[in-house]
Each structure stands twice: as structure tokens, then as C-alpha cells.
Structure 1
């Protein structure tokens, strides 16, 4: 009867949920939107991108400015034999002040400012793209932690069950109804499960470190449990998502700004065939001269002039036009490549999400209930010695593997949704109804709930009931 009592304890364990690893450490549940906001506010790469944008935005303000005017002060036509005589001895000696201003050809300043603005806007959209990628990485890590916690939960549950399997096998062996090999097999499976638990705990610590890195906080900051979630259903078609990406994806806008910058650069290169100008004004202060040889009233004079370069270097200017054409072509093809990548990502991700959705439905609606029924039958049959211990153990391990695959499929679906949102450029309108049930399956019901409370039955009664 000792092994029957152990089996009753085993069945009770089936009926009560196991406390998860995350709940044991008494941390509050994590909130995904808050984690994303913290990452966007504190991540140094985002701050670096913002400073880069500010740098180029200030360059845009400088692009349309004129060069500083040049001021001139000179003493003109001094007599060499009287170097310190600044006037009064020669009518050609004068003190001169002047000012000049460089003026580019009409339209060049506006085009330079336009180019600088397009470049600054490109960096501004790069910030949004970086934020999008950062949010995606936070979401992926978040759901990986959830899947790891679920795996730790079912590992802990199965460790308890395998411990009871060992006790049952020892009890049956002690009364001559079992074999020693069953004890060794149960112990080996328990050791494998402990090895898996150690690996999963290490994985969770690594995921915690990654999440803390993304949030720019101390690497040893503990991460609380992740709440269960429902799988949202995508309502848009692939074509609708592609159109949405054209409207929302920051990198598309960034490359579009670079295309516009290249086009403006082409217009600027064409204007280089026209000269730039330099306007100048000089005022000459003269002294009155009255001597035996020369008499001059010393009237003041001024000079107005304009100079301009001669654009004879045609090869240089043709190269500038070719450079701007290549720059525009490069940005255009990068934009086309991005469109192609987005199209592929959307179609591939939707296909993978559809597969995961169907797998979750299959596990919840078919495979796991069938595995629970199979294990229930194996438990009942093992009690009356109709099946061997390995059949019971295999049934338990099969159910364990199916549960893990269910949680992995759910987490993978949400990670693919995060990747899809990053490809499109923002949140996607989805239906939030779960595939089958609002909550993940609880601990498997190996037998009817009322059975553990009934008095132990004889093997003959069990055999009659089973048949």
C-alpha cells in the first residue's frame, strides 16, 4: 500500500499549479510599455543619435549664411625716402579703408541650405529607426524571458513528479512488483531535468543582463515575472502592411531625404558653371599738397569694384555633376532595396506567424489534451500493472515536451509580431482574441479531480473499471 499512497500524492500534484520561479523571488510583474519607455529614455545610443541630429541641424542653419565681409585698411603710395610722411608731400599718398563681400551665384545658398536640411532630416529619421529597433529588441527579450520562466515552471513541476516516480518505483521494487532498472531510469530522467533547470536559470540570467543592457541600468538589476498574454491576430494583408510601411517606416523616410539631398546636389553642381562674385568698396583719404612743385586740393576719393571667377575648369564641374548623379542613384537604389527587404520580411514573417498560430491551436486543442489523456491512462494502467514504468515515464516526458513547445510557439509568435512591427514602422492594428483560450493550459489533469479523495481500490477493481 506504500506505493499507492505515493501514487495518490502524485495525482494531487497533477491537480495543483506549481509556483513559478519568477514568483518565488517576490518581484512585481514587468510592464512591457514601461520597459520600452525606459529603454528609449535612457539608452546611450539613442542619445548619441539625437546629438548627431542636432549637430547636422545646426549645420543646416549655417549653410545659407554669407561669408564674413572683409575689411581693409592700408596706406597707399608712401614716398620711399620719407616713409613716415603720410601726406602733404605727394598728392598720390593716401590712407585707404575698404570693405568687400563674397556673393555666390544666385540660388546657390538656398540649394546648400536645402541639402543640409535634407541631411539633417535623414539623421532625425535615423533616430526614430533606432528607437524602433530598440523597442523590437526589448520586446524579443521580454518574451524570451516569459518562455524561459514557463520552461522553469514545468521543469520544477516535473522534478516533483519524477521524484515521486522514483518513490513509486522503489516501493514496487521492494514488494517484488517492479524492477531495479525502473529506479535507475527515473533517476536518470530526474538528473537530465536538473541539468535542464540549471541551463534555463543561466539563460534567464543572460536574458536579464541583455534587458538591463538595453535599458541602460545595472546589469544585476532583477527582472520580475512576465504576465501571461493572449495572441493577437493580424487583421491586415501583406499588401496593406507594405503600404503602411511606406507611410510609417522611419528608414524609408531617411533614405527619401537622402534622395532629395542628392537631387539638390545635382542642381547645385549645375550652378557651378556660373561664376561667384566679389563686391568691394574703398574710400581714400587724401591730404592737400601745396609746395613749389605740386599743388593739389586733396579731395577724397572712392573706388567701387566687382570681381568674379572664370569657370574655365569644365572637367571639374562635369565631375561634380556626375558625383551628384551617383549620390542620387545610390540613395534611390538603397530605397528600392529597403522596399524589397520590407516586402520579403512582411511575407516571410506573416507565414511564420501563421505557422505558430496553427501550432498553438493544435497544441491547445489537440496534442496536449491527447497527451494528458494518454498519461492519465498510463497512470491508471500502471497502478494495476498493465503497463511498465517506462510507458508511464514516456507519457510524462511527452507531455512535458509538448508543453514547452506550446510556450515556445507562443513566445515566438509574439517575437515575430515585434519584428513585423519593426519592419512596418509602428504598432499594427490587431484583433486581441486568443486562438483557443485566454490563459495557457494549467497543470495537466491526469485523472478526474475526485479520484485522489476516494479510498484506494484493489487491483481487481481497477482492472474492472479500466475495461
Structure 2
């Protein structure tokens, strides 16, 4: 009964897992795209073939438990005498009987325990597949969103370069700009157009990656996300590290495997004890050739008892050693895995801290300074104290810093998804709309700030 209750609880948990990735974010409405990502996580949990296969393997392992606990089948025996045995009560022609092997006390439960712990290991592995799937969906989603920001930046840059080209062409006609400035802008414009074409072409592979994870049919191009959010978790480094060492699903699976090996070792030791077989046997007897015989034609009945003789002690000792060595190897593997997980968590936590620091510097210091540099370059260019190269360099720097800001946001989001996998659960966090840096109106602002040659006369 215990395993069936466990089965119901497990499948209740499996149903919750479908929504587990969304629960941690449900209370925050600071990011408009949150519901889209939540829907993708739910869809992937329901439809991804790899996740379904992992839980199917768990189902198959769970079905081994009642098989391990079952009694051996009764044995029916039947024999015919080639020559009837003449007895006083009549000739005996055949014998028949039924017997039941009774395993030694605890063997059936130990076999069931081994099967249960093996199923528990596969459940942990299936949950790990679920977290890995969520990580891949989030990573694909955020990379897709980053592509959108890269395209947006490239198109803004192209719009600015088109205006620069028209501006330089106008100034070149009145000899206030050089031909080198004109060709330099054209080269930069061609590079921007090529970059846009490359990014546009890259959209399909990213969409296909996300579509495959969601289990959707081929041919569908998913809409491009609006952007990458700014994330913040309520857990500190100690809480995350503790979750990694205590709840990591790989460690959980190894613990279950070690417990299965321990139970197998106890079971192997019990194999030194014989199993008992009990039965009932009868002999079919015909009527005697002479009348008046006591018990004539009656079938004799015998109650039988038997045991197996465990002569091969060496094989049984080898089975005990095998189970013990398996348990020891699994625990050593766990210890090695813990060390690797701690190092991996430390690297990811450093990346999260470093990403937060870089985001703060970009948003509060570096990007504003780059914007001031661009404004100063525009003023100097209009005054004839700077070349078009200086202006292009300042403009390109601001565009690249804006793109770097979104790259750091994307890397930060992926690192937190990686930490989810290590911690064995979704780390609670909130999503906030990321503050803008360069802004969608940058190209228009530049066109307003720069004066044409006619206006400067």
C-alpha cells in the first residue's frame, strides 16, 4: 500500500511540475512578456518528447515494484508411471501435486525496496530533465529576445548612417566635407546593412530551437520577444549554495541509487538462507484386483516440505561484494559531484554578481558618458573641429554599449536558469522591465541635434 500511496503523491507532484516554472514569477507584473514565457514553460512541460520519455522510464521502473513484491507462482507437478505400481490397495498409475515456494522472511520486501529506490532515482532524473528543459526554453527565449534588440540597434544605426550620408553629401557639395568622409560613411552603411541581413537570417534558427523545445510542429516561426527583463532573486549566495548541495537532482538520484545498492546487499546476504517449499501430493490409484481390501482404490495424500541448498557460497559472497562495491562507488561519485557542483555554483554566482555590477556601471555611468561624448562630437563636428570619423566612432560606441547592456541582461538571465538546474528547483525571483539606455528615439534625436549645411549658413 505504501508504494501505491507514493505513486499517487509522485504523480500529483508531476502534475504540479507542469506549472512549477511559472509559480515563482506569478506575483510580479513588472515585465509585460512574463505571461508569454510562462506559457512557453507550461507548453514545453506538456509537449516536449524528451521530458515525456523521462517520465515514461520512471513509469516503467515503478511497475517493477509490484513484480518484486509478488509471491513466486505455485508449482503444479504431474507424473505418469510407465508401468503401474502394484500395491495392496490397487495399481498406482500417476502422481500429481501442487507446491509453493516461501521466500525467507524479508526477501520480498527487500526486492521491492530495491525497485522503489531505483524508481526514485529515475524520478529525480526525470525532474532534472524538466529543469534542464526549462533552462533550455528560457535560454532560447532570451537569446531570441537579444536578437530582437540586436536587430533594433542595427536598424537604428542604419537610420543614423543614412542621415550621416545625406549630411556629408550635402556638405561635400559645398566643400565643407571631404570625399574620405563620404566614402567612410558609405562603408559603415554597407556594413550595417550586411549585419541586419545576417541577423534577419539568424532569426529562423533561433525560432526553430525554441519551437523544437516546445514540441510544436515544423514550419512555424515564433514571434520575436520584446526584450530581456532585469532579474532579481530574493535568495542570497548562502541559500543558493545550500540548495545546490542539498537538493540537486543529480545528488538525489545518486542517493537513491546508493540506497538501492544497500538494500541489494542486505538481500544478497539473505540468499545464504534456504527458502522453504511446501506442497501437497497425491497418487492416483485404481481399484485392486482383489475385492475386500481395506482402503481399496483410495488415493494416498502426502504433505511435502523442501528447501533449496545454497551450496555455491562463493557466488553468493560475490553478490554481496558486488552490492557493497556498487553502494560505495555511488557514494564516492556523489562526493565528487558535490565538489564539482560547488565549484560550478561559485562560478555562476560570481557571474551573477559581476553581471549586476556591469549592468549598474553601464546604466548609470558608461552609457551616459558615451551619450555625452556623442553629443560633444556632434557639437565639434558642426563647429568644424571634429571629423566624420570622430562622429562615427562616438555613435558606434554608444550603439555597441547599448547592445552590450542587453547582452549582459541575457547572460544574467541564463545564469539564473543554470542555477535553477543546480539547485534542483526554481529559485524565486522577480522580473522587472529593463530600463532603456540608448532609446528608440536615438536616431531621431541625432537628426534634430545635427544641423544641415543650409541651416548653418
TM bin, normalised by shorter chain, reads 0.7 to 0.9
SS of the residue corresponding to residue 355 of structure 1 reads helix
CA drift at 1:234: 3.6
Distance in structure 2 (CA, Å) of the matches to 1:453 and 1:322 = 83
Q: Residue 358 of structure 1: CA displacement?
A: 1.1
- CA 1:44–1:240: 2 relative to 1, 3 Å: same
- How far 1:238 moved relative to its partner? 2.9
CA distance in 2, matches of 1:441, 1:419: 29
TM-score by length of 1: 0.83
- Which residue number corresponds to residue 133 of structure 2? 134
* 2:201 alignment counterpart: 202
Match of 2:398 in 1: 399
CA distance in 2, matches of 1:454, 1:192: 25
Q: 1:90 to 1:175 in 2, by over 3 A?
A: same
Q: Is 1:367 aligned to residue 366 of structure 2? A: yes
Deviation at 1:450, TM superposition (A): 12
Shift of 1:138: 0.3
Q: Cα deviations across residues 372-397 of structure 1 (Å, max 9, x unaligned)?
A: 11111111221221111111111111
Tell me how far 1:159 sits from its aligned partner: 0.5
Is the Cα–Cα contact under 8 Å of residues 276 and 309 in structure 1 kept in the other structure?
yes
Aligned equivalents of 1:440, 1:353: Cα separation in 2: 20
By how many angstroms is 1:103 displaced? 2.0
> TM-score w.r.t. structure 2 length?
0.85
Change (3 A) 1:360 1:227: same
In structure 1, what is the Cα distance between the partners aligned to 2:70 and 2:112?
9
413-422 or 443-452, which deviates more: 443-452
Confirm or deny: 8 A CA contact 2:88 2:293 kept in the other structure: no
Q: Secondary structure at the residue paired with 1:232?
A: strand
Cα deviation for residue 58 of structure 1 reads 0.9
What is the root-mean-square deviation of aligned Cα atoms in Å?
2.9
Work out the CA distance in 1 between the residues paired with 2:113 and 2:429.
40
Distance apart, 1:202 and its partner CA? 2.4
**1:349-390 deviation digits (Å, cap 9, x = unpaired):** 010111111111111111111111111111122122111111
Residues 29 and 121 of structure 1, relative CA distance in 2, 3 Å threshold: closer
Contact 1:114–1:261 under 8 Å retained in 2: yes
The answer to whether residue 447 in structure 2 is matched with residue 442 in structure 1 is: no
* Residue equivalent to 1:315: 314
Task: Write out aligned runs for 1:196-235 (5 A).
Answer: 196-228=195-227, 230-235=229-234
SS at match of 2:217: coil
- Name the counterpart of 2:254: 255
SS in 1 for 2:272: coil
Per-residue displacement from partner, 1:295-327 (whole Å, max 9, x unpaired)?
564243111222222222121111101110111
Shift in CA distance, 439/451, structure 1 to aligned 2, threshold 3 Å: closer
Q: Which residue of 1 aligns with 2:73?
A: 68
Deviation for aligned residue 1:99: 0.3
The 5 Å alignment of 1:395-434 reads 395-430=394-429
How big is each residue's C-alpha offset from its partner over 1:58-114, in whole Å with a ceiling of 9 and x where there is no partner?
A: 11111011221112233347349xxxxxx8998342443310112222211110011
2:375 matched to which residue of 1?
376
Distance change (3 Å), C-alpha of 1:446 and 1:217: closer
Cα distance in structure 1, aligned partners of 2:36 and 2:364: 29
Q: 1:50 aligns with which of 42, 45, 55?
A: 55
Asked whether the 8 Å contact 2:34–2:431 carries over to 1, the reply is: no
Deviations 1:114-136 (A, max 9, x none): 10111112112211110000000
In structure 2, the CA distance between the partners of 1:242 and 1:108, relative to structure 1 (3 Å rule), is same
Q: How many pairs does the alignment contain? A: 424
